[in-house]
Amino acid sequence: MSSESGRRRVVVTGLGAVTPVGNDVPTFWQSLLAGKSGAGRLTAFDASDLEVQIGAEVKGFEPTQRLDVKLAKRTDRFTQFALWAADEAVRDAKLDFDKEDHDRVGVIVGSGMGGIQTWEAQFIQFLQKGPRRVSPLLVPMMIPDMACGQVAITYNLRGPNYDTTSACASGAHATGEAFRHILHGDADMMVAGGAEAAITKFTVAAFANMGALSKRNSEPDKASRPYDKDRDGFVMGEGAGIFVLEELEHARRRGAQIYCELAGYGATADAHHITAPDPDAKGAAAVMRQAITEAGLKPEDIDYINGHGTSTPLNDASEVKAIADVFGAHASKLAINSTKSMIGHGLGAAGAMEFVAMVLQLKHQKLHATVNHETPDAGVALDFVRGSARDCRIETALSNSFGFGGHNACLLVKALA
């Protein structure tokens, strides 16, 4: 057993990332510390006739540098991101799957939109050239579960395997459910995270028309400004965060490096509105309490929160209220930042990319800044890590993810004791 109480314990042993500020973990980390924004004018298509013309795109991504050419042609960009990041995570964990029981290793990768780039391209083909020209690969390239399916196929992993689709909470839910499978003995290792590649003309138009996106087209690098009084919407991002989660004693037996322990997970619903968060923030507060309680901690034990921090007026305000409700007087002592200030909002991949950022900050005992946070909302006196990165003692950390539909997820990590 992994503890005197007999409860299995889960640790993080490998990290992988594809992001708008770096296509590997070291580059991602250095970009965060430098306060580098990944936002810019959209390049994937002509956005000149759109109200919103900015996004946080992954740059310089060439899938065939790690993927077989045939596989690259048969996978959507979101699956390519997942496979790329999984390759890095597996190598970082120094895994040799030939030495593992493949029935005891699973894969869960969340995605909110799945292969929407493929869907959009093939629908145009359907309209312009007729039904016989629709690719027979459309369905296996489009469905959101294909990222976890392809990762499992690549490494012959036969444990629990599915995707989670809960909008912006998808990657966090995938991580939490993977944690549960190890905790309850269904698996000894899980490859988990989230992947998204939803920056298309169609989706940008849709999010813009519902008023969710920032219209700061003339200043893309200043458009994502979480918790700032002058925020006007989020910047759409893309990418993947994939990691190896492992039962503690299993990791120790193989001499694995251990980043930290994943000790708590919460999942709740607002049950309030299809897009707007509950202004009373009951679900957001409850999900943090769940994660803290599962870890056997109290609110005052938490040092740092990687906030959902989308840069939308309603979401940021609701999250701030939830933090105040959960932590009370301790809230002013917490460090809080938003990785989205630099990488934009990666939708279903957001929680996974932010989990990587949270783990790195705990490992290095250093916090990245919340870029563009200049003027707090009236009456809010929280520490949003403004200005530049700073050293900080971190033993425990939370990561919040809240999705359209009222889906809430929270992950708690702590230094391994």
CA separation for the pair 170, 185 (Å, rounded): 23
Q: CB-hemisphere CA count at 13 Å for 4?
A: 1
CA separation for the pair 36, 369 (Å, rounded): 10
| C-alpha torsion sign, points 294, 295, 297, 298 | negative
Beta-carbon neighbour count of residue 206 at 10 Å?
13
Burial of 97 (0-12, 13-18, 19+ CB in 10 A): middle
Report which DSSP code applies to 82: H
Q: With H, G, I as helix, E, B as strand and everything else as coil, classify residue 376.
A: strand
End-to-end CA distance of the chain: 16
Question: What is 16-46 written as a DSSP string?
Answer: EEEBTTBSSHHHHHHHHHHT----EE--SS-
Beta-carbon neighbour count of residue 166 at 10 Å?
25
Q: Residue 153 is which amino acid?
A: I
Active site (catalytic) residues: 168, 308, 345
Residue 397 and residue 355 in contact, taking contact as beta carbons nearer than 8 Å: no
